[in-house]
Amino acid sequence: MVAQFNRRKFIGGAALAAGTIALPLRVAAQASLLDARETRIMEIAKREIEKAGPVLWRRDIAGIADFSAHSSRPRFHFANLEQGTVRSFLVAHGTGSDPEHDGYLNTFSNVEGSNSTSRGAYVTWEWYKGRYGTSIRLGGLDDSNSNALPRAIVMHPASYATPEHVARWGRLGRSNGCFAMSPDDFREALWHLSGGRLLFADQLNLEGDGSVPPSPPIET
């Protein structure tokens, strides 16, 4: 129900953008330049953009978060469907998803107060000034992340999401469920992922054999 509400809310903006921005159709021709993991990221990005439909204002770049990987790994991927390129960065997950603080996401949750990461598709909204400075507001498009707005699940920069933090501790710090990135990397999110684009998060096993593992449990 929330996903439908969001789609209605943004269909006006999508209609304005539809005449000038369209989903790229030449991704397959560029696949030979990508390795198997990057090709899979592109496939997921294209699939999820098509599923999201007119709720998205821009369909050129998508963010794909693979929470099957350890937090010390660059597991947040910018898939540029127009250029056929993938750029990968560190991203933190929530404390409730990793109570042992071992760097692995164990559970997803959409429950307020869980401090957990939620799986599913999001639309990136506007910039705003928050606790961590300039941040990107997110809207959940699925039942599994429908509480993103009331939970204040956003993208933001954080000092605990840097390569230096990994070098010292062997893992990133944890957020309250937000997608926290290194301040240097977050600048790229501000310019290339905000303003009506797709963010998709799940356990995708992109560093494994290409198969998708069973999803972890979701708290109810």
Model pTM above 0.85: no
pLDDT for the residue numbered 34:
76
Give residue 207's pLDDT: 83
- Cβ atoms of residues 130 and 156 within 8 Å: yes
133 forms beta bridges with 130
Amino acid at 217: P
pLDDT tens by residue, the chain, 220 residues: 333 334 334 333 333 333 333 444 444 444 456 799 999 999 999 999 999 999 999 999 999 999 999 999 999 999 999 999 999 999 999 999 999 999 999 999 999 999 999 999 999 999 999 888 999 999 999 999 999 999 999 999 999 999 999 999 999 999 999 999 999 999 999 999 999 999 999 999 998 644 444 444 444 3
Under 8 Å between Cβ of 200 and 62: yes
Q: Into which CATH architecture does domain 2-205 fall?
A: Beta Barrel (2.40)
Domain boundaries, the chain: 2-205
88: left (phi over 0), alpha (psi -120 to 50) or beta: beta
